[in-house]
Amino acid sequence: MLIKSFNTRQLISGDTLSIPYFSFTGKESGPSIYIQAGIHGQELMGYGVALCLIEHFKKSSPKGQITIVPKANPYGMNFKMAEATYGRFDPSTGSNWNRNYVNWIKDQSDFLEKYRSQPWDKIKSFLRQEALSNLEKLDNLPYANKLARQLQALAIQHDILLDLHCDGTSLPYAYCHEYALPYARGLDFEYYFTMSRYFKGSFDDATIFPFWSVFELMNLPIEQFDMMAFTLELGSKEYFNLKECQSFADRIIQFTNNPYERAQGNDRQTVCSQENFVDVYSSFAGMLYDFVPLGQWVGAGEPLCYLLRTDNKDCLLNERIMSVTYHKKCLPIARTIGSSVHEGMSILTCIT
Ligand SMILES: [Zn+2]
């Protein structure tokens, strides 16, 4: 095992934050896998999962190579406001910590013109060199962009990327691109959300976007693309349970043994395309209560929870009670961690 770190941010107090990472190289050849946790500071489970993985690989070398970053955003995880962690957004700018990754390839056709006669493996390594020469330019950047580039520079040296997150009050689920669903199934989640492929600045898209876009320009079928990036939502934010971390880690270890095995779907797994994964927004301001259990189908127009309105009209208590519904049959996967909402805030996210 190699423990390395890089400095990421100097603080006003004079201290400097650093990001440690752990690399394991097995004797057998195998895949190269990168796992990071905690880009959103209040999503705590990933840290425990990363430590369980490190513990395992210390004793039992992986096939191939694995790099683990347990605390991808130390600034975000330190930022407490009273009891809560303000971890999703940069407190100085309001930007989502997971939307700053960069598309470092300017012109895929131009790039490919230089190397067209080369096989994919060679082209991939040229792409990695090109990436590093771009991502290592860190001068005059907002901090969130610097952090994203530092993580991306490490991540792009691997073929398989896992970004560990949590949602509101949530069941565990996984995001993957459509072509990678058969591989993602090996992680044994109950719920999968398949994403279309376009650049949107989040880690799972941005880090492999330049690779898949060149791969497709070479007229190679995407099913043969040997890189993949998954976002794993490991339950609820601001929640921690080490036993559950171990259980997620066990599944990830299983996956790392043979990540290119294409698994069939089974009855236990529900797959939903991202456009059918919808938010239900509040039509009124108020207090939320009596949610239906997550993971249970609810009929069109049936109550998902109730809302006690907080407007200033003089009325009976009963008249303040509204049911929150969706116009289609849906299955709630996650809900807001708070019990009070303004009009127009997301209350639930549901499969439809
Ligand atoms: Zn997150």
Whether 232 contacts 165, CB under 8 Å: yes
State in Å: Cα 213 to ligand 1 middle.
25
pLDDT at 116 over 90: no
State in Å: Cα 166 to ligand 1 middle.
5
State in Å: Cα 97 to ligand 1 middle.
9
Which of 286, 319, 290, 316 lies closest to 303 in space, CA to CA?
Answer: 290
Tokens in use for 60? 């039992």
CA quadruple 41, 2, 54, 206: dihedral sign: positive
Residue 60, pLDDT score: 96
Read out DSSP for 183-237?
HHGGG--SEEEEE-----SSHHHHTTHHHHHHHHHTT--GGG---EEEEEEEEET
Does the pTM exceed 0.85?
yes
Pairing, β 277-281 against β 305-309: unpaired
Residue 106, pLDDT score: 84
State in Å: Cα 220 to ligand 1 middle.
32
State in Å: Cα 115 to ligand 1 middle.
37
Helices 108-115 and 209-217 meet at what angle, rounded to 10?
60
Query: Which of the 8 DSSP states describes residue 304?
Result: S
Average pLDDT score over the chain: 96
State in Å: Cα 99 to ligand 1 middle.
11
CATH class of domain segment(s) 276-351? mainly beta
State in Å: Cα 193 to ligand 1 middle.
15
Residue 296, pLDDT score: 97
In this prediction, residue 154 has a pLDDT band, given cuts at 50, 70 and 90, of: very high
State in Å: Cα 219 to ligand 1 middle.
34
* 3-23 tens-digit pLDDT: 999 999 999 999 999 999 999
State in Å: Cα 37 to ligand 1 middle.
9
Helices 120-135 and 108-115 meet at what angle, rounded to 10?
130
State in Å: Cα 299 to ligand 1 middle.
29
State in Å: Cα 308 to ligand 1 middle.
29
State in Å: Cα 282 to ligand 1 middle.
22
Residue 262, pLDDT score: 94
* 305-324 tens-digit pLDDT: 999 999 999 999 999 999 99
Which of 246, 199, 231 lies closest to 72 in space, CA to CA?
Answer: 231
Q: Where in the chain is the domain with CATH 2.40.50.100?
A: 276-351
State in Å: Cα 40 to ligand 1 middle.
5
Which of 143, 127, 135 lies closest to 75 in space, CA to CA?
Answer: 143
State in Å: Cα 47 to ligand 1 middle.
12
State in Å: Cα 42 to ligand 1 middle.
8
CATH class of domain segment(s) 2-268? alpha beta
User: What number is the average pLDDT over the span 90-100?
Assistant: 95
State in Å: Cα 80 to ligand 1 middle.
16
Residue 62: partners with Cβ closer than 8 Å, 6 or more residues away: 24, 25, 26, 30, 33, 256
User: What number is the average pLDDT over the span 102-112?
Assistant: 90
State in Å: Cα 318 to ligand 1 middle.
37
Tokens in use for 351? 């499969």
In this prediction, residue 297 has a pLDDT band, given cuts at 50, 70 and 90, of: very high
Q: Where in the chain is the domain with CATH 3.40.630.10?
A: 2-268
* 159-170 tens-digit pLDDT: 999 999 999 999
State in Å: Cα 221 to ligand 1 middle.
31
User: What number is the average pLDDT over the span 189-218?
Assistant: 94
Query: Which of the 8 DSSP states describes residue 330?
Result: B
State in Å: Cα 73 to ligand 1 middle.
11
Residue 198, pLDDT score: 87
Query: Which of the 8 DSSP states describes residue 30?
Result: -
Pairing, β 270-273 against β 277-281: unpaired
pLDDT at 153 over 90: yes
In this prediction, residue 276 has a pLDDT band, given cuts at 50, 70 and 90, of: very high
Residue 48, pLDDT score: 98
